[in-house]
Structure 1
Amino acid sequence: MSHGPLMLDLEGTTLTEHERELLLHPATGGVILFSRNYQSPEQVTALIDEIHGLRTPPLLVAVDQEGGRVQRFRDGFTHLPPAAWFGELNRLNSKKARAVTQRIGWLMAAELRAVGIDFSFAPVLDLGLGLSSVIGDRAFDSKPIGVAELAHAWMMGVHEAGMAAVGKHFPGHGWVSEDSHCELPVDCRPMGELLMEDMVPFQRMIDYGLDAIMPAHVIYEQVDRELAGFSRIWLKDVLRDQLGFHGVIFSDDLTMAAAEQAGSYADRARSALAAGCDMVLVCNNPTGAAEVLDALVEYSNPAAQMRLVRMHGRKRFSRDTLHLNQKWKNALQLISQYEENPSLDLDL
């Protein structure tokens, strides 16, 4: 059974019989976990192992573990700094900032791989311009090159731990103030400005080998009247053809308010896949997920399935082995500096 095009979520810390049936549906391809699915490292390991054991190839299992305010697994995991902290570090000492960012990227990925998670939806490649509250300190920097270089260091650490990286939110969410979870953001800038600013980190990261990208639920009205995640212009003409991206394209959550203009959940999924997404996310709405499964039961995209296979985790430490690893201990020391001095009063 190949990977289906839908990534869905779960209700609690164990699988129900109904959820097992959903995960065996041919249109299912992955599971995204949230804080409600996490109780302890032991519990989540058992949950993930059960999900992976349901079918071959295994379903992809993902989580949002960026750091800062977006970190789903906390107790039993290292509390990670927000991306903006690395940007502040970069302004003080760029060489050491990149080294620290790479180590913390490795730490994030190694801890997740130890419990079986395939990948995290990170890093954020949006510019931290102070306009978007939903981005805020999730952005590495306000400057495109700063974002690109820190994100590259983060990805190098992630790859070293055997995990793929997912850049978001293409072509850039940093300029709009509206939160696409609740509203419909519209960016009125011309393509030239986007190319020179917001898209620079994406182009650089594609050149560095970025594995996957998640488009923004934003309309860039001078380019296309469709949300980027539903736009063939953005996903095929620009991302695939112009920027040369050959990795996986994940939709953002189709239950977000900004996606409502695309119609029913089935219509949203069909539109996103037709535009160029390889896998769509439907979270926190079991009825919507069931609607999408019914609509996509016959869906097949061999090229997308080949890309999705590359998102599986490639290494796995046991937690005991990880905690004996000197690299893990060194990374914890860096984290302790952040916890003691979040304002960056560090001895660099």
Structure 2
Amino acid sequence: MTLGPLMLDVAGTELTDDDRRRLSHPLVGGVILFSRNYSDPAQLAALTGEIHALKTPPLLIGADQEGGRVQRFREGFTHLPSMRTFGERWNTHPQQAKHLARETGFILASELRAHGVDFSFAPVLDLDYGASSVIGDRAFHADPNAVFQLGQSMMLGMKDAGMAACGKHFPGHGFVVADSHVDVPIDSRTLADITATDLVPFRLMMEAGLAAIMPAHVIYPQVDDKPAGFSRVWLRKLLRQQLDFDGAVFSDDLCMEAAAVAGGMVERVTAALEAGCDMALVCNRPDLADDVLANLQVDWPASSRARLTRMHGQPHPSTMTQLRETTRYADALHHIAGLGQDSTDLNLVDPTDYCARS
């Protein structure tokens, strides 16, 4: 059996019969977990264990565990600072900021791996122009080099813990004000302008070994009339051919408002996969997921399967008890203690949780 090109969600903290039916379908290759799927560490480990046992090779399990206001699992997990915290530290102590970003990446990934989660959709590589509320403090910095340096450090920390990184939102979501969850953002800059700024951290991260990217639900009309996640120009011509990227490409959630430009859900999934995505996300609409499972007709290449296989988590301490006994984890916790605690992000509602994704 091989993994399919769809990533779906599940209803709650335990699998239902409908969840099992959907996840066992040949078209499904992954599961994304949200805050509603978590009550405590033991429950999460049991849930991921059951999901992984459904298929061979096991389904990929991903989550948005960025830090700050986008952290799906909180109670029983380390509070992770927003990425802007590292950018602020970068302004005065860049080497220290890189070290702290790597330690945070290790904690993020090692805790997820200890609970059976394969990877996180992180880090955010968008530039902070001060314009986008949905990006905001999720971005490291406004300077492309700072974003790369800090993003690479985060990626290396995740790799230390056996986890691949997924940079988002290619080729850059930070310049636009509109939120793609509820609107269709338009970025009218030229390709030359985007290449000189927002694309820089993505390009450098790819050269440094980034395993996956997630394209933005943003239209860049000077380049193509389709959002990047539906665009052959962005994904095949620019990403695959010009940037020579051979990692996995995950669509953003196709239930978001900005994805509606591609039509119904079957049309959206088809458009994303044909444009060059390796896996398409359908979140929080089980009725639409059923429609896709019943009607999707797609020629899914072996190369996509190979790329996704690399996203499986690597061996790591299998429980939090074992993880806490390691010097690496204890040192990392000590190094980031108190980082970002003066932020108010613990009291913020995650703006992406209402419709699942960011």
Answer yes or no: same fold by TM over 0.5. Answer: yes
- Percent identity between matched residues is 52
Q: Does 1:144 align with 2:144?
A: yes
User: What is the match of residue 349 of structure 2?
Assistant: none
1:249 aligns with 2:252: no
Q: Which amino acid aligns with 2:142?
A: S
In the alignment, is residue 332 of structure 1 matched against residue 336 of structure 2?
no
Q: Rate the CA distance shift 1:93–1:2 in 2: closer, same or farther, 3 A.
A: same
The answer to whether the 8 A contact 2:44-2:115 is kept is yes
Aligned to 1:48: 48
Matches within 5 A, 1:145-164: 145-164=145-164
Distance of 2:21 and 2:27 partners within structure 1: 12
In structure 2, the partner of 1:27 is: 27
Secondary structure of 2:267's counterpart equals helix
Q: What residue identity is the alignment partner of 2:79?
A: H
The aligned residue for residue 196 of structure 1 is: 196
Aligned to 2:353: none
Q: What CA deviation, in whole Å up to 9, does each residue of 1:183-238 have, x standing for no partner?
A: 00000000000000000000000000000000000000000000100000000000
Equivalent residues in 2 for 1:297-308, closer than 5 Å:
299-308=299-308
Read off the aligned partner of 2:210 and give its amino acid letter: L
RMSD between aligned residues: 1.2
Q: Secondary structure at the match of 1:250?
A: strand
Q: Distance in 2 between matches of 1:129 and 1:327?
A: 35
Q: CA offsets, 1:29-73, max 9 Å, x none?
A: 000000000011100100000000011000000000000000000
Is the CA contact (8 Å cut-off) linking 2:125 and 2:147 kept in structure 1?
A: yes
Shift of the alpha carbon at 1:300?
A: 3.1
How far, CA to CA, are the matches of 1:55 and 1:270 in structure 2? 24
Unmatched 5+ stretches in structure 2:
345-358
Q: Which moved more, 1:300-309 or 1:225-234?
A: 300-309
Indicate yes or no: 2:172 matched with 1:209: no
Contact 1:27–1:297 (Cα < 8 Å) also in 2: no
Q: Which residue of 2 aligns with 1:68?
A: 68
Give the structure 2 partner of residue 346 of structure 1: none
Residues 132 and 174, structure 1, Cα contact 8 Å, conserved in 2: yes
SS in 2 for 1:187: coil
Question: Distance between the aligned counterparts of 2:342 and 2:130, measured in 1?
Answer: 22
Query: What displacement does 1:314 show?
Result: 0.5
Amino acid aligned to 1:338: L
1:331 deviates by 2.0
Question: Alignment length, in residue pairs?
Answer: 343
Q: CA deviation at 1:338?
A: 1.5
Moved more, 290-299 or 114-123: 290-299
Partner of 1:170: 170
- The equivalent of 1:100 in structure 2 is 100
For 1:87, the aligned partner's letter is: G
Deviations 1:229-274 (A, max 9, x none): 0000000000001111000000000000000110000000000000
Matches within 5 A, 1:274-289: 274-289=274-289
Farther-moved stretch of structure 1 (244-253 vs 284-293): 284-293
Residue 234 of structure 1 corresponds to 234
Distance 1:270 1:340 in 2: 43
Once residues 313 and 75 of structure 1 are traced to their aligned partners in structure 2, the CA distance between those partners, rounded to angstroms, is: 22
Worse overlay, 290-299 or 54-63:
290-299
1:159 alignment partner AA: K
Could you say which residue in structure 1 is the equivalent of 2:352? none
Q: Which amino acid aligns with 1:277?
A: C
Q: What residue identity is the alignment partner of 2:10? A: L
| Alpha-carbon contact 1:116-1:316 (below 8 Å) kept | no
Aligned to 2:322: 321
SS of equivalent residue, structure 1 residue 12? coil
Look up the SS of the partner of 1:92 in the other structure. coil
Question: Distance in 1 between the 2:57 and 2:315 partners?
Answer: 16
CA shift for structure 1 position 288? 1.2
Residues 162-203 of structure 1: CA deviation (Å, up to 9, x unaligned): 000000000000100000000000000000000000000000
| Offset, 1:326 | 2.1
Q: Which amino acid aligns with 1:89?
A: R
Offset of 1:330 from its aligned partner? 2.1
Q: Deviations over 1:312-342 (max 9, x none)?
A: 0002212111112222222222332225555
| Paired residue secondary structure (1:313) | coil
Equivalent-residue separation in structure 1 for 2:43 and 2:256 (angstroms): 29
Distance 1:339 1:231 in 2: 37
* Partner AA of 1:62 in structure 2: G
Q: Which runs of 5+ in 1 are unaligned?
A: 344-348
Instruction: Give the conservation status (yes or no) of the 8 Å contact 2:186–2:221.
Output: yes
Partners of 1:321 and 1:19 lie apart in 2 by: 31
Mapped contact 1:6–1:27 kept (Cα < 8 A): yes
Contact in 1 for aligned 2:82/2:340 (Cα 8 Å): no
**Distance (whole Å) between structure 2 residues aligned to residue 215 and residue 96 of structure 1:** 30
Q: Describe how 1:70-85 pairs up with structure 2 within 5 A.
A: 70-85=70-85
- Counterparts of 1:295 and 1:89, CA distance in 2: 50
Q: Which amino acid aligns with 2:325?
A: L
Structure 1 runs (4+) greater than 4 angstroms displaced: 339-343
The structure-2 alpha-carbon separation of the partners of 1:338 and 1:297, relative to structure 1 and needing over 3 Å to count, comes to same
2:218 is matched with 218
Q: Is the 8 A contact 2:100 2:336 kept in 1?
A: no
Residue aligned with 1:229, SS: helix
Matches for 1:115-134 after TM superposition, within 5 Å: 115-134=115-134
